[in-house]
Structure 1
Amino acid sequence: MTISPAKLSDPTVRSLVAAINAGDRAAFEALLTADATMSDDGSDRDLAQWTDKEIFSVRGHMDVQSESDGGRALVATFRNDTWGEMRTAWRFTVEGDGRVSRFETGQA
C-alpha cells in the first residue's frame, strides 16, 4: 500500500516528497536550511551533488510505504533512471522554522 504525499503527517516532509516527485528542484531547495546536510547508506554526501545525481537529473520518485516518528521517518520505494527501483528508508530532521537541516537515506 502506498501513502499519497498529500496524506503524510509532517507538513515539511509532505512538501519535500511532493517536490521530489514533481522534479521541482527550486521547491525542494526552498525546504532546506542553508547549511543542510545528508547521508546515503551511512556516509555523508555533498547534498547538492547527490540530489542532482540521484533525484533531479534522473527523475527520482518516492512511493511512500509507511511513516513513523510523526511523519519524519519514511520507508519508500524510490526509483530513478540510474538505479531503477529500491526499498529505501528516509529520516528527516526538521527545524522550528519548518525547514529540513538533515536527511538520511539508505536501503531498507
Structure 2
Amino acid sequence: MIPSSQLTDPAVRAFVTAVNAGDQDAFRAVLTEGATMSDDGSDRDLAQWAEREIWSSAGHMDVEAEADGGRSLVVNYRNDTWGEMRTAWRFTTNGDGRISRFETGQA
C-alpha cells in the first residue's frame, strides 16, 4: 500500500487524506465549485454520493498503485455498506490544484 502522504499529485493526496480522516471540509476544499463525478460509468450527484458512499458509511481508501502523475489510482476501498472492493479512480485537476472531476468504479 502507498501511504496517502506519499501520493504524487497534491490534490489527489489531499482527497485521499480527507476521505480517510472523515474530514468533509477538507474534501470540499480540494474540489472545484461544480465538481462532477461518476461511479461505474454513470454520473452521480457528488454531494449525495459522498454522503452515502463515504461519510455515513465510514469510507476508507487504501491505495495500491498510482499512475498518470498520481491522477489514476487503484484502491482497496471499503465502507460499512459494501465492505471492501478493488476500485479504480481517475482524477481531473484544474490549474489551481483542485479536482474538477473524478471517476470511480470496479478495477
Matched, 1:64 2:63: yes
Structure 1 gap ranges (5+)? none
The secondary structure found in structure 2 opposite 1:92 is strand
Percent of aligned pairs sharing the same letter: 69
Q: Which runs of 4+ in 1 moved over 2 A?
A: none
Q: Which residue of 1 aligns with 2:81?
A: 82
- Residues of 2 paired with 1:34 and 1:12: CA distance? 14
- Residues of 2 paired with 1:16 and 1:23: CA distance? 11
Q: Which residue of 2 aligns with 1:96?
A: 95
Report how many aligned residue pairs link the two structures.
107
- Residues of 2 paired with 1:18 and 1:91: CA distance? 16
- Residues of 2 paired with 1:14 and 1:33: CA distance? 15
Matched, 1:48 2:43: no
Taking the TM superposition and a 5 Å limit, the aligned residue runs for 1:1-12 are 2-12=1-11
Letter in 2 for 1:6: S
- Residues of 1 paired with 2:102 and 2:58: CA distance? 19
- Residues of 2 paired with 1:12 and 1:39: CA distance? 18
Q: Structure 1 length normalisation: TM-score?
A: 0.98
Letter in 1 for 2:56: S
The secondary structure found in structure 2 opposite 1:17 is helix
Structure 2 gap ranges (5+)? none
